Structure 1
């Protein structure tokens, strides 16, 4: 006798076998994924391949080297000095400034905080800034606090066309009958024919003990200030700082920030 001929597989049988194969492969893939995500499995020595979105290097920002303020009728005038030891330029910076009350807490209010846009701070640069906060007549301000946000670094070579600049021959006159004092300075650039990239000027004042007590920005096209100033100023310690660059929030292009 001969064995009967084996039964031929019907098309439906082949489809069923294919579905079972796909199911087995899927279960295996899910098992591997869960092992990769399981902290206990990772701790046991399973190696996980690094992803393309690895953390970026931290942004280097200038240091807030000095702050000071004076208060008159609910208005706080503050001065800030920044210094930079960063190897690259810090650009598109936003310096957030808040007032600290006598109890050590941040004073609240829409105008009790301010933001100063810093287009660029170069390596080794020292920058003076100033502004105003409105805290209310009954508030007592102990200090101010400044911190950076929305900042990025950029190669200093992007600013190679910028001239060296400073303000000298600072003079004052007043106060006049309205209580305003005029402060002026002479802008010096190297080379002296250089055109500045969107300059802004900040006046910083100190008392006889050398502490910062005032800072303000002028909206003039040159170092000229016409303000109601606090008393007790040591005029020999007066300085006017120049900030250059086109303001903008991060990220920015080198051409925009450097006026190219």
Structure 2
């Protein structure tokens, strides 16, 4: 005759397994509730990010462009303005050279991308850079498109000082054909430090047409450039773009150097 005891043990084992499974599910559920993402742990704060705009995004407008070309090297300048009620942040300027036939010029560096961290309501801001095209290319103008702009309240930048560059000076050209250009940064309040500045040199001819642009970083604006002829130095300006270009969703504390 077969002993029935093992069968009873097996049934008991199944009962114990069921109880343990219920306990595990209960513990997991309590743990998930304790880790509800809407609950904040003591001492933990979340950095503010830009909220999704209620309406269409308001982006800066390209008000002016200009360029010069020498042996395939294109130096371009751009002026953007903003009539947005909020700050326009993280804007991407894509720049391409257009030939005299109306087509985009090609080459490994025939396109450039400039990131403007923030353009504030009513602000006028300059930018500039370089393109490299075929040495025999003829250029008609440059084309600039603006994308990826996000909008955040302008008061996020209330800690920023007013900044401009005064006393622009130049010397040269030297024996290599380079001209050095410098300027003095003026802030209001005077003790303020600009937030991660990039300096853009914009040069015009006697008619006021923008013919050259260049970029520099550092504590003070300083440029070493091979410049075209016909510059009216009375019309020279150095624009200051501030802010740390964000990656992905805008973190306003990081953007404003706080």
TM-score, L = length of structure 2: 0.78
**Closer/same/farther in 2, CA of residues 56 and 88 from structure 1, 3 Å limit:** closer
Match in the other structure for 2:75? 77
Q: In structure 2, what is the Cα distance between the partners aligned to 1:140 and 1:97?
A: 16
Q: Which runs of 5+ in 2 are unaligned?
A: 1-52
SS in 2 for 1:132: strand
Offset, 1:131 = 0.4
Offset, 1:219 = 2.9
Q: Does 1:59 align with 2:63?
A: no
Match in the other structure for 1:175? 173
Match in the other structure for 1:11? none
Q: Does 1:118 align with 2:116?
A: yes
Q: Does 1:185 align with 2:183?
A: yes
Match in the other structure for 2:129? 131
Q: Which runs of 5+ in 1 are unaligned?
A: 1-54
Offset, 1:144 = 0.3
Match in the other structure for 1:220? 218
Aligned CA RMSD, in angstroms, stands at 1.3
Counterpart among 208, 211, 220 of residue 210 in structure 1: 208
Match in the other structure for 1:248? 246
SS in 2 for 1:176: coil
Asked if 2 retains the 8 angstrom alpha-carbon contact of 1:88 and 1:155, the reply is yes
Asked if 1 retains the 8 angstrom alpha-carbon contact of 2:76 and 2:130, the reply is yes
Offset, 1:133 = 0.3
Asked if 2 retains the 8 angstrom alpha-carbon contact of 1:245 and 1:257, the reply is yes
* Superposition map of 1:12-91 within 5 A: 57-91=55-89
Match in the other structure for 1:94? 92
Q: In structure 1, what is the Cα distance between the partners aligned to 2:169 and 2:124?
A: 22
Offset, 1:56 = 6.0
Structure 1 runs of 4+ aligned residues shifted over 4 Å read none
Q: In structure 2, what is the Cα distance between the partners aligned to 1:120 and 1:130?
A: 16
Q: In structure 2, what is the Cα distance between the partners aligned to 1:82 and 1:249?
A: 22
SS in 2 for 1:127: strand
TM-score, L = length of structure 1: 0.77
Q: In structure 1, what is the Cα distance between the partners aligned to 2:71 and 2:58?
A: 38
Counterpart among 227, 231, 234 of residue 232 in structure 2: 234
Offset, 1:164 = 0.5
Show CA shifts across 1:97-130 (max 9, x none).
0111111111223311100011101001110111
Match in the other structure for 2:101? 103
Select the structure of larger CA radius of gyration. Answer: 1
Q: In structure 2, what is the Cα distance between the partners aligned to 1:72 and 1:220?
A: 27
Match in the other structure for 1:259? 257
Q: Does 1:160 align with 2:161?
A: no
